[in-house]
Amino acid sequence: MIPDEIIEQVRDAADLVEIIGECVSLKRTGADWRGPCPFHGGTHRNFAVIAKKGLYYCYVCHEGGDVFTYLMKRFGMDYPTAVRDVARRVGVSIPERPDRDAGPDPREPLFGALAVAQEWFAARLRDEADAAKAREYLEGRDLPLAAVAELGLGFAPADKSFPEAMQRLGIPEAILIEAGLLLRREDGTVAPRFRGRLLFPIRDLRGRVVAFGGRLLGPGEPKYLNSPETPVFHKGSTLYHLDQAKNVIRKQGVVILVEGYFDVIRLVLAGVDHVVAPLGTALAGGPPRAPGQDSQAALLRRFAPAAILLYDSDPPGLRASFRAADELLRHGMRVWMATLPLGEDPDTLVRKGGAAALEPILADALDVLERKIQLLERKGWFAGVERRREALDRLLPTIRAASDPVTRDLYLDLTEKRVGVTRAVLEREVAAHGEPHFAPIQPPAQPAPEAPRPRQGRGLRGAPIEEKLLRTLFARPAWRERARHEVPPGYFQVPAYQEIYQALLALPAEAPLGDAAGVLSPNARDCWHRMTQAAATAVAGGLDLDAEYAGALSRLHDREVARGLPPVEEIGERQRQLEQLSPEARQRLLWLKQPEKGRQRRQPEPSPPSNPGTESRSED
């Protein structure tokens, strides 16, 4: 296969106007070029070539695509041949791969099914009576059908006409299920995944349809529904409209990040093309999940060194903005935050005032740390020592996220001046890489006695396992939300650990982790501080947090099973109970049921969370 980076180089270098102009008489109309459509044999100038996007589109037969699609549909080339033909024209050399890499992409049937589905959905939106409600919905949002057709929007009917149409076209049911277009219910029947929804095609960087986002047009939930993860679609590695925006983003040197599909469409129709959106979720960061699966933040960094976050200015929008900003800072980007008027989003703002209404908002965008300081100042957080400490705790995550050394140094300098904390102290706080500290101030005349460490008693055999589980909850918010549904508070037998866990459960999903520490007892707060350090060390050491969480949860569950076994008088009855368990659980439970003295000889007191790689395995 031809490497993706070579394909991108060839596409960027291609002159689509010149290539199409070899067969079509094109004339400039504004920023675009118009001519008769070569696909349906038209005589009027309904065929547009959008040079700045590298795309073409016919407003009559609705054929559209990029330079490779044009050669494939016009001259019957396959994809590799089209890429090589354009590469020859622009002088890009394509390295030959060994024979072992030759052969068709096994995912091609999925790409083919999704492409056919997108064309079917788009035609349904344009032509069919059951899509009248979708057309009225678009008109009500001042989105002309002809304009959104260029972006490939479609309609999924509520009946079974889609699977029936795919069956007539010869597309296997198994392929449609694997592509996320159909789903198999618990009773074994198969149904369309999208029903009664306006559909937005989601494309990869090559412009191939890989998924859909669907907006429900009637009552019900969820309002928005995306395709599931499939072999061709990974939500955390895909951004809406990036396939069409990437060239403009490169030229502009900055990307505008918005929250929703309609925000993107509105800005694009207003002539603001360097805009993308995550797929209804928080912006994904972190290392690649697999080769070729860069995170959303890493993808953006490939095309621009800077980003402007254009999210809603309400509290949820601000929290989403700061989370996204931290991910982008970790990837070395410069990040600004634009401030929308309250009650407005990019769609409504540009709908009322056009691109001109957006220009001053983008021009006034602030650096993310400056925006945080601005908000904290308005709330009076710098007025007193106690609030100033809390204000610093809000600023530290952004300073830590800045991977660019110059940006971090500037952030430290700004924070030192505004908060009034020395540079040396700030650097220690940043280096600690833990969550905010809430150490109590003890009266100097009568220092408080050292809080007792959690004592090990009967039934607390899994204290190190409890530490493991808590460590993952400190390291990643996603595991805290997962634990909320999987881990009852009773699983924690060490009182301080149970107190910490219950404080985490009471924490609102969007609140900073450090907010939970303020309600803890001194003993639990001491454990909290040690736990933050251990979590930071685990993350820095590349510990597999998913495996750590799953292993700890399994062991704590086994312990609960052991505690719940009723007393028996016959050995045979106990044996029957144990046979119901897995071999691993049975081995651990037999150990747990040893006499107390035998356990105490081997079990040390609970200790502070240990470093990954040096942790005791005695809990196994």
What lies within 8 Å, CB to CB, of 413 at 6+ separation is 423
The rounded percent of the chain whose pLDDT value lies above 90 is 42
Distance (Å) of CA 262 to CA 1, 76, 258, 469:
35, 35, 9, 40
Instruction: Give the 3-state secondary structure of residue 559.
Output: helix
The distance from CA 19 to its chain's CA centroid, rounded to whole angstroms, is 37
CA angle 229, 548, 466 (to 5 degrees): 130
Sorting pLDDT into bands at 50, 70 and 90, what band is 91? confident
| DSSP character at residue 519 | G
CATH class assigned to 463-602:
mainly alpha
CATH second-level architecture of 236-364? 3-Layer(aba) Sandwich (3.40)
User: Two tokens at 187?
Assistant: 């009773």
CB 126 within 8 A of CB 149: yes
Q: DSSP H helical segments within 183-276, as ranges?
A: 242-252, 261-269
Sorting pLDDT into bands at 50, 70 and 90, what band is 502? confident
Assess whether pLDDT exceeds 80 at residue 100. no
Average pLDDT over residues 514-520: 68
| DSSP character at residue 449 | P
CB 516 within 8 A of CB 507: yes
| Mean model confidence pLDDT for the chain | 81
Query: How far is 143 from 125, CA to CA, in rounded Å?
Result: 13
Q: What pLDDT shows up at residue 179?
A: 96
147 vs 545, more confident:
147
Residue-range domain boundaries for the chain: 4-101, 108-233, 236-364, 373-432, 463-602
Assess whether pLDDT exceeds 70 at residue 160. yes
Query: How far is 417 from 423, CA to CA, in rounded Å?
Result: 9
Tell me which long-range contacts 369-376 makes (C-beta under 8 A, separation of at least 24).
Answer: 369/395, 369/398, 369/399, 369/411, 369/414, 369/415, 370/414, 371/337, 371/339, 372/322, 372/398, 373/414, 373/418, 375/318
* 191-208: pLDDT as tens digits: 999 999 999 999 998 889
Tell me the fold of 108-233. Answer: DNA primase DNAg catalytic core, N-terminal domain (3.90.980)
User: Two tokens at 138?
Assistant: 């678009």
Query: How far is 566 from 391, CA to CA, in rounded Å?
Result: 52
CB 58 within 8 A of CB 64: yes
Query: How far is 552 from 540, CA to CA, in rounded Å?
Result: 20
Q: Are strands 190-192 and 366-367 parallel, antiparallel or unpaired?
A: unpaired
Nearest to 510 by CA among 323, 296, 326: 323
Q: How many CB atoms lie within 10 A of CB 607?
A: 14
Q: What pLDDT shows up at residue 458?
A: 35
Query: How far is 542 from 47, CA to CA, in rounded Å?
Result: 53
Assess whether pLDDT exceeds 70 at residue 384. yes
Residue type, 43: T
Question: CB burial class (10 A; 0-12, 13-18, 19+) of residue 309?
Answer: buried
pTM of the model: 0.63
What lies within 8 Å, CB to CB, of 340 at 6+ separation is 310, 311, 312, 313, 346, 349, 361
Q: How many CB atoms lie within 10 A of CB 13?
A: 14
Tell me the fold of 4-101. Answer: DNA Primase; Chain A (3.90.580)
β strands within 298-416, DSSP E: 306-309, 334-337, 366-367
Assess whether pLDDT exceeds 70 at residue 596. no
The rounded percent of the chain whose pLDDT value lies above 70 is 79
The distance from CA 108 to its chain's CA centroid, rounded to whole angstroms, is 25
Using CA atoms in the order 414, 419, 425, 430, what is the torsion angle rounded to 10 degrees? -60
- Please name the helix (run of DSSP H) or strand (run of DSSP E) that holds residue 50, with its range, or none: strand 47-50
The distance from CA 363 to its chain's CA centroid, rounded to whole angstroms, is 27
Residues recorded for the chain: 620
Longest Cα pair distance anywhere in the chain, in angstroms?
94
The DSSP bridge partners found for residue 184 are 190
CB 500 within 8 A of CB 518: no
Q: Are strands 254-257 and 306-309 parallel, antiparallel or unpaired?
A: parallel
* 236-291: pLDDT as tens digits: 899 999 999 988 998 899 999 999 999 999 999 999 999 999 987 688 876 665 55
Sorting pLDDT into bands at 50, 70 and 90, what band is 515? low
Is the link from the previous residue into 98 a cis peptide, with omega within 30 of 0? no
Q: What pLDDT shows up at residue 571?
A: 54
Query: How far is 532 from 530, CA to CA, in rounded Å?
Result: 6
